[in-house]
Amino acid sequence: MGILITKGTDRTLIDSETQESYIVAALPIFIKGTDIELDSVYARIEFKALPDGSTISVTFKTYKDQSFFLSGQELDTTINVQTFDFAILETETQSIETALSYTAQRFTEMGYTATIIS
């Protein structure tokens, strides 16, 4: 299982204090060090279930697509996050499904569109 990450869409948000709206621009994905913009990348995650039972730490690597993952050809992109740390709900388990879900949500919050794929 992995996450398909694509450029998100511009979003209009409302400031909770001033009630004024503002636009959060969608983030493009570039091959690091170039001006080559990609339509999407495939991300594979690795997660660590911490002994407290309620925290997970997630790292990821990006690939052009799933076939590049299968052949071990990692792609260095401008998605420059190294690690995500999550405190999960008491009703959730430290699992790959939970890690994928939280990670996809975080990518979305950053301005990308993220879809979990098998």
Q: Give me the mean pLDDT over the 98-113 stretch.
A: 92
Residue 49 in any domain: the answer is yes
> Does 98 fall in a domain?
yes
Does 118 reside within a domain? Answer: no
Q: What is the pLDDT of residue 4?
A: 97
Q: Which domain holds residue 101?
A: 2-112
Domain-located, residue 33: yes
The pTM (predicted TM-score) of the whole model is 0.84
- With respect to residue 77, please indicate whether it lies within any of the assigned structural domains: yes
| Interval 34-65: pLDDT, tens | 999 999 999 999 999 999 999 999 999 999 99
Domain membership of residue 96 (yes or no) is yes
Q: Three-class SS string for the chain? A: CEEEEEECCCEEEECCCCCCEEEECCCCEEECCCCCEECEEEEEEEEEECCCCCEEEEEEEEECCHHHHHCCCECCECCCCCEEEEECCCCCCCCHHHHHHHHHHHHHHHCEEEEEEC
Has residue 99 been placed in a domain? yes
Is the model's pLDDT at 76 over the cut of 90?
yes
Give the number of domains in the chain.
1
